[in-house]
A = this chain, B = another copy of it.
Amino acid sequence: MNGTRGGKPPKGRPVIERAFDLLGGFDAEHRALLLADLARRAAMPRSSALRLARQLMATGALEQLADGRYAVGLRMLEIASLAPRGHGLREAAMPSMEDLFHVTRQHVLLAVRDGAEALLVERLSTHDPSPVDYRIGGRLPLATTGVGQVLLAFAPTPVQEHAISTFVPDGDVRTADDLRRTLAEVRRGDFALGSRTTMATAAAPVRGPDGVVAAVSVVAPREQFAGSAYVPAVRAAARAISRQLTGAW
């Protein structure tokens, strides 16, 4: 007796988390996945993945392409567009970012802090962009990017401590003391300047009613980078966005 059918040792993970585990299987290089891949990446049985995937499709969070592969659905965009720190912020920022973009004709970034990382909310680039691998919705390190340093400099102390003790050296930030000094300078001057091997950046903080909520930056190839011109432009844009924010936040 006992057919070995059925059984349930799901380790007690709530359904919702498992569903988002499934959605978390997608990344920039894998925007369309087979059901089997989805299951593998979320480390769950195929039958479970299928059931969840169908429910997610019913809500529109997941779509099925012509070839049967799955992809993130438009419902996700529809809901995400209402995130105050996402598109909400973006709406207020876009006009000023456009201006900054016109003037500099270089990459313009807008990022917010999410835990110990920065999340890219918007990016403007020209037709044939010098390759930045920064993607909207992608994550950036706090310690070694312009926007990241701005966000970090005005973050709560524990966040700073954590970042200082765990960062990986890159560009002109080589030691923990480098980083500490950099953050102090950012706070003093209200902007960040930095460079890596081929690219350089200038960033400035965007403030809401309760302090720094985001950071804008210009990123350009090192040899085209005009710091003395970009810094005031970026700071002006950041202030313009901040002004928008205090109105409609």
Contacts and interface: CB of A to CB of B under 8 A. Distances in A.
A91 B102 CA distance: 18
A80 B79 contact: yes
A50 interface: no
Contacts of A114: 60, 74
Number of identical protomers: 2
A80 B137 contact: yes
Interface in A114-164: 114, 119, 121, 124-127, 135-139
Contacts of A47: none
A77 B85 CA distance: 9
B73 A83 contact: yes
Contact of A58 (B17, B65, B95, B126): B17
Interface of A: 14-17, 19-20, 23-24, 26-28, 31-32, 52, 55-56, 58-61, 63, 65-66, 71-88, 90-91, 94-95, 98-99, 101-102, 112, 114, 119, 121, 124-127, 135-139, 210
Given A16-B16, A16-B59, A17-B58, 15 more contacts: A15-B16, A23-B79, A27-B82, A31-B83, A63-B83, A72-B84, A73-B83, A74-B83, A74-B85, A77-B137, A78-B138, A79-B80, A82-B137, A87-B137, A98-B101
